């Protein structure tokens, strides 16, 4: 508390920043923003656009920039992306990721974390990439190095075998698959890397909205962790937490 008050007295932080650091959250008419989440357990707070008005999204993004220095906005639309770009001044770097529908905005003073650990992002097919990219962005924002391995689904096993050594070299792998969701189980049976199964709502017919993929991963004979359907943020955060622990262990050697 003393350090926060001293920084406020010295003009190093604003009143809003001081309040957020002391309380652990910032309050607005849109709701409360968890400013201490990343400090508390390493996972950054994200702003999910689903169910929020444009005004609420802009409010939360502004609070994130003012109190943390970075805003992570997920499941955006082109209209939301344009509004955020227009809202912030040029001094705020706003990067849009249209494929994953994610926006990252940062101040010039924000110091991104870096980890000595690598996360492999593996996709079964092109249709799985938007959700996989969301996972990649979150793991990257937590400091992990990212290696992307795309289109290695089980319909052509040779494509996976060509890349298996690269997956083995990573510290943790997120494997995204829709349809019957077989790929994560297959990968987990071939590597000693922790595998996170990410079921994607690609497919058609019975179980085609991700249910079949989720069930397949939950019933895997090989050891893997499975997140919910299209839960790219959660998969990326889980991989980032594993990467952080690995990086810390390497730092102690």
Q: Tell me the C-alpha distance between 159 and 208, whole Å.
A: 24
Instruction: Name the nearest CA neighbour of 131 among 181, 85, 95.
Output: 181
Angle between helices 78-87 and 54-67 in degrees, nearest 10: 40
And the tokens for 198? Answer: 């990410």
Residue 2: CA count within 13 A, CB half-sphere? 0
For the chain, give me the number of helices (H) and strands (E)? 11, 11
What is the full per-residue pLDDT of the chain (253 aa) written as tens digits?
555 455 556 665 566 665 655 456 676 676 777 777 777 778 889 999 999 999 999 999 999 998 889 999 999 999 999 999 999 999 999 999 999 999 999 999 898 899 999 999 999 999 999 999 999 999 999 999 999 999 999 988 899 999 999 999 999 999 999 999 999 999 999 999 999 999 999 988 988 899 999 999 999 999 999 999 999 999 999 999 999 999 999 986 5
Enumerate the domain spans of the chain. Answer: 2-106, 118-251
Instruction: Name the nearest CA neighbour of 57 among 37, 29, 90.
Output: 29
Q: Tell me the C-alpha distance between 30 and 199, whole Å.
A: 31
Question: In CATH terms, is domain 118-251 a member of 3.40.640.10?
Answer: no
And the tokens for 181? Answer: 């969701």
């Amino acid at each position: 508390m003393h350090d926060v008050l001293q920084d406020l007295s010295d003009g190093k932080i604003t009143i809003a920043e001081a309040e957020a650091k002391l309380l652990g959250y910032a309050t607005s008419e849109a709701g409360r923003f968890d400013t201490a989440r990343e400090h508390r357990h390493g996972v950054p707070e994200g702003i999910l656009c689903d169910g929020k008005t444009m005004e609420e999204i802009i409010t939360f993004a502004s609070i994130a920039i003012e109190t943390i220095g970075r805003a992570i906005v997920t499941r955006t639309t082109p209209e939301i992306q344009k509004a955020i770009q227009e809202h912030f001044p040029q001094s705020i770097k706003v990067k849009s990721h249209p494929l994953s529908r994610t926006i990252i905005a940062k101040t010039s003073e924000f110091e991104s974390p870096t980890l000595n650990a690598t996360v492999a992002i593996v996709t079964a097919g092109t249709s799985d990439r938007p959700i996989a990219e969301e996972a990649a962005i979150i793991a990257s924002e937590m400091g992990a190095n990212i290696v992307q391995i795309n289109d290695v689904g089980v319909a052509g096993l040779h494509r996976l075998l060509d890349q298996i050594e690269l997956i083995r070299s990573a510290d943790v792998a997120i494997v995204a698959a829709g349809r019957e969701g077989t790929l994560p189980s297959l990968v987990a049976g071939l590597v000693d890397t922790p595998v996170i199964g990410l079921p994607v709502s690609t497919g058609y017919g019975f179980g085609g909205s991700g249910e079949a993929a989720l069930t397949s991963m939950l019933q895997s004979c090989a050891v893997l962790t499975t997140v919910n359907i299209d839960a790219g943020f959660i998969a990326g955060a889980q991989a980032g937490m594993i990467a952080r622990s690995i990086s810390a262990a390497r730092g102690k050697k």
